[in-house]
Amino acid sequence: MSFSTKKFSFQQLVQGRKSIRRFLDKPVEKAKILACLEAARVAPSASNVQPWRFLVIDEPELIEKFGKEAFSGIYYPTKFAAKAPVIIVILARLDIIANRIGKEIQNIHYYYIDIGIAGEHIVLQAEELGLGTCWIGWFNPRKTRRFFKIPRKYKVVSLMAVGYYEKKPSRERKRKNLEDIVWFNKMP
């Protein structure tokens, strides 16, 4: 499935990506949504559990109704997401060994790492396809669960807004220097 002839290096892709909070009122082609989800599907996961599940919302009226629930009250600052043409509800299906026993032994919720990798695959694929994304962690997960009648076997982890956006010249983002975050062979 190919959408453009323009090729990006990986560094161009990751350095050009930014979180988008203003989307154009333009639907996203289903093939592009599926390409993003395919990129997530092939992501690595602990013990190959593949805990990710995705509920795609791409009907404008449904997004508007959902937004009134998920972004109400203290979650109001993220109401911009309800203007996106696509919202992906990112869910985790927890596995007994990799996620529950592994958490007890290592004290790490591996499914969060797995979901992060799969979600970033969506982000990078979307960027390559000319789409913008924004991870949403500030939303009401209980109202999200109730709104879609999501069964308890799934954990509501995050949302991702996806859509076209107006391309503007990038301002430089402030990032830490590599030498401030990396050490070789010993701590400073």
Residue 169 placed within a domain: no
Residue 184 placed within a domain: no
In order of 49, 110, 122, 141, 143, the CA distances from 161 in angstroms are 25, 24, 11, 15, 17
CATH code, domain carrying 61:
3.40.109.10
Number of separate domains in the chain: 1
Give the number of other CB atoms < 10 A from CB of residue 101: 11
pLDDT at 3: 58
Token pair recorded at residue 70: 């998920």
Residue 2 placed within a domain: no
Residue 5 placed within a domain: no
Which pLDDT tens digits describe the chain residue by residue (188 residues)?
555 556 778 888 888 888 999 999 999 999 999 999 999 999 999 888 899 999 999 999 999 999 999 999 999 999 999 999 999 999 999 766 666 676 677 777 888 999 999 999 999 999 999 999 999 999 999 999 999 999 999 999 999 999 999 887 667 778 899 999 899 999 88
Rounded to whole angstroms, how far apart are CA atoms 133 and 172?
Answer: 18
State whether residue 132 is helix, strand or coil.
Answer: strand
pLDDT at 96: 62
pLDDT at 41: 97
Report pTM. Answer: 0.90
Residue 12 placed within a domain: no
pLDDT at 102: 67
Residue 1 placed within a domain: no
Residue 124 placed within a domain: yes
State whether residue 121 is helix, strand or coil.
Answer: helix
State in Å, rounded, how far the first CA of the chain is from the last one: 47
Residue 186 placed within a domain: no
pLDDT at 2: 53
Side-chain-side CA neighbours of 133 within 13 Å: the count stands at 26
pLDDT at 97: 66
